[in-house]
Amino acid sequence: METKSKKYRNIIFGSYLIIYRITPNRIEVLRAFHGSRSPKIIKKSRSIKVY
């Protein structure tokens, strides 16, 4: 997954993988995937650009 600053983080919370970035004023959740999702679907999301 690409962002303007190219800085993003992830955390596992329960059955979810949450991808987020920290900006000076807030925390932005970019994606949240449930653990039952196919890894192929998660890998495809890396090509999505977030602006």
What are the domain boundaries of the chain? Answer: 1-38
- Other beta carbons within 10 angstroms of residue 47's beta carbon come to 8
Helix/strand/coil (H/E/C) assignment for every residue in the chain: CECCCCCCEEEEECCEEEEEEECCCCEEEEEEEECCCCHHHHHHHHHCECC
Kindly report the pTM of this predicted structure.
0.61
- The pLDDT, as a whole number, for residue 44 is 63
Please give the structure tokens belonging to residue 11.
């955390």
Distance, CA of 46 to CA of 25 (rounded, Å): 25
pLDDT in tens, 1-51: 555 666 788 888 888 888 888 888 999 898 888 877 666 666 666 555 554
